[in-house]
């Protein structure tokens, strides 16, 4: 393991980050888990660290293989069979790590054949992929062949982890679910977080500019300017562009869509105007590109929440955010004259990512689209930015979360909108704090610093 490239890079990195999923995947024999997430989020490194742990405790029947070059489905059982045959003690259950499995078209056929033949039925299997589209459909076609396996998600670094890894902030409290900010425990945690206000507020401004990709955070820590290098931005984009090209879509059109999203952050996206910005007349083109990029974990779609039906409504307009804030810089690097997203939009984008990350159902659904969070608008056109499921009580009404600045009129209007329709809610300001057990106002950087990722709760809740 000492010569492994990913582990050597981890050792040399200026940051130390333990993704929550690292301690959440139970490697039990007979289970097949999936690990999803965008490229460059560190999934392969996480898998290598899991293997390192197994080697450290004396396990030897371990196999890792990357399928990023693709191939036919039958290559999967062939590769596994060959590896086992070459081992000096092949008999007994194995730990199998099959990386970028969705690069193999119809990969589920190969996994099914390996299981049905008895080749992997007793093994612990972890499959990784960078596409929710392929992995969801593949996972659905493995009925009875996953044991107690679950679907896990590794996204770029959260703001809380950014504070710890890049700025050495120490948190005294366990992280909270969104609704727990309205409890006495949440009130105490807010007070302690406010004692580090200067550090957290400064780190938040930097997070808006850097995002959470490990390479970008590494640039931020290692350079005197704290900026992300153009080389890192190009790597992130070129990998995504490769997926776009492979899907027979136009890379420039995708760039134009990402640019159009910049000026719509915080508002619903018009498919008509986005398609025209991309050079097309049909509104369906922008929608189709957006859904593809969401399935590739580049974009996050937030759907309208119908309170009466208690469901998300894909037929209505949706809000589109970047899955990581650094993606908003890519059009400016590639297309001269590109507009930068307004800061208010970036703040709302940071909240959208965080709420998606901690939504109650994220880990047990293979589909990242539409996800678990929504927005709400009244018949009088009064909008609440987000309505999210509660982690501690899934049967209760969804919790509204409104993102505002510090203007008192705006804050009062947000309180009124929440009070008219919801029993409780949160208002996220830039610096204001007004804690109440029904509607609490707190700084957005306090909320994000204390927020719990769903991965950290997956074992206790699931």
Domain boundary among 153, 169, 194: 153
Instruction: With a cut of 60, say whether residue 162 has pLDDT above it.
Output: yes
SS3 state of residue 176: strand
The verdict on 125 and 273 lying in the same domain is no
Domain range spanning residue 70?
A: 5-153
Mean pLDDT over the full length of the chain? 88
**Cβ atoms within 10 Å of 405's Cβ, excluding its own:** 15
User: pLDDT tens-digit profile of 46-83?
Assistant: 999 999 999 999 999 999 999 988 889 999 999 999 99
The verdict on 275 and 402 lying in the same domain is yes
In the chain, the percentage of residues whose pLDDT exceeds 90 is: 57
Q: What's the pLDDT score for residue 460? A: 29
Higher pLDDT, 368 or 411: 411
The verdict on 130 and 36 lying in the same domain is yes
Instruction: With a cut of 50, say whether residue 392 has pLDDT above it.
Output: yes
CA–CA dist 130, 455 (Å, integer): 18
Q: How confident is the model at residue 194 (pLDDT cuts 50, 70, 90)?
A: very high
Q: What's the pLDDT score for residue 367? A: 45
- 155's tokens: 């996204």
CB proximity list for 427: less than 8 A, separation 6 or greater: 402, 404, 411, 414, 415, 418, 439, 440, 441, 442
Domain boundary among 104, 124, 153: 153
Instruction: With a cut of 60, say whether residue 461 has pLDDT above it.
Output: no
Please, what is the angle between helix 43-56 and helix 5-12, to 10°? 100
**Cβ atoms within 10 Å of 253's Cβ, excluding its own:** 17
Q: What's the pLDDT score for residue 450? A: 96
Instruction: With a cut of 50, say whether residue 88 has pLDDT above it.
Output: yes
Domain boundary among 126, 153, 180: 153
The verdict on 249 and 310 lying in the same domain is yes
Give 47's strand partners: none
**If you ran DSSP here, which 8-state letter would residue 299 be given?**
E
The verdict on 207 and 270 lying in the same domain is yes
The verdict on 163 and 89 lying in the same domain is no
Domain count, the chain: 2
Q: What's the pLDDT score for residue 263? A: 82
Q: How confident is the model at residue 141 (pLDDT cuts 50, 70, 90)?
A: low
The verdict on 456 and 340 lying in the same domain is yes
Q: What's the pLDDT score for residue 288? A: 92
The verdict on 358 and 430 lying in the same domain is yes
Q: What is the mean pLDDT of the segment spanning 279-291?
A: 92
Q: What's the pLDDT score for residue 204? A: 97
The verdict on 254 and 235 lying in the same domain is yes
Instruction: With a cut of 60, say whether residue 246 has pLDDT above it.
Output: yes
Instruction: With a cut of 50, say whether residue 369 has pLDDT above it.
Output: no
The verdict on 237 and 123 lying in the same domain is no
Lowest mean pLDDT among 57-71, 225-239, 362-376: 362-376
Q: What is the mean pLDDT of the segment spanning 318-345?
A: 82
Using an 8 Å Cβ cutoff, are 77 and 119 in contact? yes
Token pair 């899955």 is found at 323
Instruction: With a cut of 50, say whether residue 366 has pLDDT above it.
Output: no
Q: What's the pLDDT score for residue 441? A: 98
CA–CA dist 454, 391 (Å, integer): 8
Instruction: With a cut of 50, say whether residue 5 has pLDDT above it.
Output: yes
Q: How confident is the model at residue 360 (pLDDT cuts 50, 70, 90)?
A: very low
Which ranges constitute the DSSP H helices of 223-310? 230-246, 251-262, 271-278, 283-295
The verdict on 177 and 149 lying in the same domain is no
Q: What's the pLDDT score for residue 364? A: 36
Q: What is the mean pLDDT of the segment spanning 251-255?
A: 89
Query: Smallest Cα–Cα separation from 283: which of 274, 292, 293?
Result: 274
- 294's tokens: 């969401």
The verdict on 183 and 230 lying in the same domain is yes
Q: What's the pLDDT score for residue 361? A: 44
Instruction: With a cut of 90, say whether residue 163 has pLDDT above it.
Output: yes
Please, what is the end-to-end C-alpha distance for the chain in angstroms? 33
CATH for 26: 3.40.50.300
CA–CA dist 343, 204 (Å, integer): 12
Q: What is the mean pLDDT of the segment spanning 289-308?
A: 89
């Amino acid at each position: 393991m000492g010569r492994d490239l990913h582990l050597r890079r981890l050792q040399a990195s200026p940051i130390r980050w333990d993704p929550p999923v690292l301690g959440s995947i139970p490697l039990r024999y007979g289970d097949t888990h999936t690990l999803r997430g965008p490229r460059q989020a560190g999934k392969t490194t996480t898998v290598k660290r899991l293997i390192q742990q197994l080697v450290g405790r004396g396990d030897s029947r371990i196999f890792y293989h990357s399928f990023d070059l693709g191939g036919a489905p039958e290559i999967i059982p062939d590769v596994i069979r060959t590896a086992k045959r070459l081992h000096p003690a092949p008999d007994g259950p194995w730990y199998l790590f099959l990386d970028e499995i969705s690069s193999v078209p119809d990969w589920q056929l190969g996994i099914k054949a390996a299981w049905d033949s008895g080749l992997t039925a007793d093994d612990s299997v972890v499959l990784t992929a960078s596409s929710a589209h392929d992995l969801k459909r593949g996972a659905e076609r493995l009925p009875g062949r996953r044991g107690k396996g679950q679907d896990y998600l590794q996204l770029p670094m959260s703001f809380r982890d950014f504070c710890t890894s890049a700025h050495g902030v120490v948190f005294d409290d366990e992280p909270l679910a969104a609704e727990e900010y309205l409890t006495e425990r949440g009130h105490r945690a807010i007070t302690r977080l406010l004692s580090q206000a200067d550090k957290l507020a400064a780190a938040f401004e930097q997070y808006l500019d850097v995002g959470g990709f490990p390479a970008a955070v590494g640039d931020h820590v290692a350079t005197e300017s704290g900026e992300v290098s153009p080389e890192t931005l190009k790597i992130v984009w070129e990998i995504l562009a490769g997926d776009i090209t492979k899907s027979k879509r136009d890379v420039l059109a995708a760039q134009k869509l990402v640019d159009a999203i910049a000026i719509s952050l915080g508002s619903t996206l018009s498919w008509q105007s986005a398609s025209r910005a991309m050079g097309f007349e049909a509104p369906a083109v922008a929608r189709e590109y957006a859904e593809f990029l969401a399935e590739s974990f580049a974009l996050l779609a937030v759907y309208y929440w119908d309170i009466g039906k208690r469901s998300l409504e894909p037929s209505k307009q949706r809000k589109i955010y970047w899955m990581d804030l650094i993606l908003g810089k890519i059009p400016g690097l590639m297309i001269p004259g590109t507009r930068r997203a307004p800061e208010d939009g970036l703040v709302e984008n940071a909240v959208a990512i965080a709420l998606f990350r901690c939504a109650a159902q994220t880990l047990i659904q293979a589909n990242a689209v539409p996800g678990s969070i929504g927005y709400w608008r009244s018949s009088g056109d009064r909008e609440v930015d987000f309505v999210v499921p509660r982690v501690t009580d899934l049967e209760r009404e969804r919790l509204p979360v409104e993102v505002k600045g510090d203007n008192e009129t705006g804050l009062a209007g947000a309180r009124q909108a929440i009070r008219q329709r919801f029993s409780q809610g949160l208002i996220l300001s830039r610096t204001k704090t007004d804690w109440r057990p029904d509607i609490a106002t707190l700084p957005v950087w306090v909320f994000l610093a204390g927020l719990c990722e769903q991965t950290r709760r997956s074992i206790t809740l699931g």
